[in-house]
Structure 1
Amino acid sequence: MKWYVTLLAGSGLLLSGCLMSREARVESDYSYAGQFRRYRTYEFISGDGINSDTSRLGKAVRDAIRSRLKIQGYRSAAIRRRPDLLVNFRLFEGDMRFRGYAQDDFSRWVKAGYAEDEETPKEARKGYQPVRLILAEGTLLVTLIDNRTNRAVWNGYASGVSVPSGPQGEIVLRRSVRSIFDQYHVFTEGYLSGQNTTSEADD
């Protein structure tokens, strides 16, 4: 079953604003074809704006994602090695319409070890139940992409993210990333038991 990166329209970078006046809405959705226990390495997708290395806000998001993935056993792909996951993130301003999915709890899905593929019988497939959402006052979206299939396998998003200028904006984004990754309860296989360790620095 094909699962595509969520397309978002009518958006722009939020470079200024006020502090978050209320708790952000944080949710996620995932692909039933994701091989979540197989992923061990990652790399960021480069781009313009907040995704660029020269953006301070972009660096804040990258550092926060890097720190969280390291805690969960992931490591940055070494030079010349193909990463398991590609990480993309975008920051959108204002209210926006978003299509999410009504799904079983992600942690239970991963723990059960299920993963659909082309050989999964049609009657055994879960199927996606779209849910239309209104995300308000700025949204930070993080997408994990399976590099082998080039398909998105997980979206995490926080709405109500208003980013002020200066250092306070970096703090807001780091907190938002932590909240988003609280939805991604996946440690690499063997990491918690000490079997999957690495001496490579992620910094």
Structure 2
Amino acid sequence: MNWTITLLGSASMLLSGCLMSQEARVESDYSYAGQFRRYRTYEFVSGEGLNSDTSRLGEAVRDAIRTRLKVQGYRSSRRKPDLLVNFHLFEGDMRFRGYQQEDFTKWVSNGNAEDEDTPKDARKGYQPVRLLLSEGTLLVTLIDNRSNKAIWNGYASGVSVPAGPRGEMVLRRSVRSIFDQYHVFTAGYLSGQSPVGSDEE
């Protein structure tokens, strides 16, 4: 009996995963000024709605982001975090301006970054692309706390969030899909240098 329940539950999760993978469109864009190898700590931007601590759906998103960032070597910090994390769930269709860019992983692995000293003729140009994102979009933005500028956007469209636990599951899966676009581990983490524990308290 227990095996039957387990198998039915697994089949249900696989089915919902297949449905989401068919509908969701996951993309990202980034700032050439992002110092991606420097970032080690983060904190969430507080707000209302999904960002609110009283929202179960908001907590599901935050928990999924925390889990993913921890896997990549980041730690939460309320004291001058390197990154501020913001997210928003848009309902229905929306028009969004993205950018046609070099592969993000390649950009970071090459150690590229632009700053005020980068000659104008050596700077990458931003080529805007207008997108129509449909049926709900979860947008996650990483902000450089020092410059207060957004340095990375990841977004999944076609995210339909049903009520109850299934909605939380859909959002967690959407977060994982979004962060599959953000292949950045903190310096030294992959070589076995564990990050210092959270100083959230």
Query: Would you call these one fold, judging by a TM-score over 0.5?
Result: yes
Q: 1:65 — aligned with what?
A: 65
Tell me what 2:11 maps to. Answer: none
Flag the 1:160–1:38 CA change in 2: closer, same or farther, 3 A.
same
Give the match for residue 37 of structure 2.
Answer: 37
Unaligned runs of 5+ in 1: 1-18
Question: Which residue does the alignment assign to 1:105?
Answer: 103
**Following TM superposition, by how much is the alpha carbon of 1:21 offset from its aligned partner in structure 2, in angstroms?**
8.4
Asked if structure 2 preserves the Cα contact closer than 8 Å seen for 1:138 and 1:161, the reply is yes
CA gap 1:202/1:22 in 2 versus in 1, 3 angstroms: farther
Q: How does 1:151-166 map to 2 (within 5 A)?
A: 151-166=149-164
Q: Percent identity?
A: 80
Relative distance call for 1:193 and 1:20 in structure 2 (3 A) is closer
Q: Partners of 2:145 and 2:119 in 1: how far apart?
A: 24
Evaluate the alpha carbon distance shift between residue 24 and residue 200 of structure 1 in structure 2; reply closer, same or farther with a 3 A threshold. Answer: same
- Do the aligned residues in 1 keep the contact of 2:101 with 2:126 (CA within 8 Å)? yes
Quote how far apart the aligned CAs of 1:175 are.
Answer: 0.1
CA distance in 2, matches of 1:201, 1:116: 31
Partner in structure 2 of residue 23 of structure 1: 23
Secondary structure class of the residue paired with 1:133 = strand
Matched residue of 2:159: which SS? coil
- CA shift digits 1:102-149 (9 cap, x unpaired): 000000000000110111110000010000000010000000000000
What do you get for the CA RMSD once the two structures are aligned?
Answer: 1.6
The structure in which a higher percent of residues are helix is 2
Residues 83 and 147, structure 1, Cα contact 8 Å, conserved in 2: yes
Matched, 1:47 2:47: yes
In structure 1, what is the equivalent of residue 165 of structure 2?
Answer: 167
Contact residue 189 and residue 196 of structure 1 kept, 8 A: no
**What is the CA distance between 1:201 and its match in structure 2?**
7.6
Q: Output the CA distance in 2 between the equivalents of 1:60 and 1:197.
A: 24
The aligned residue for residue 183 of structure 2 is: 185
Q: What TM-score comes out, normalization by structure 2 length? A: 0.88
- Paired residues, number: 183
The offset of 1:200, in angstroms, is: 3.2
Question: Which residue is equivalent to 1:131?
Answer: 129
What does the per-residue CA deviation read over 1:179-200, in whole Å, with 9 as the maximum and x for residues that have no partner? 0000000000000112242233
Q: What's the counterpart of residue 90 of structure 2?
A: 92
Residue equivalent to 1:116: 114
Q: Is the 8 A contact 1:20 1:163 kept in 2?
A: no
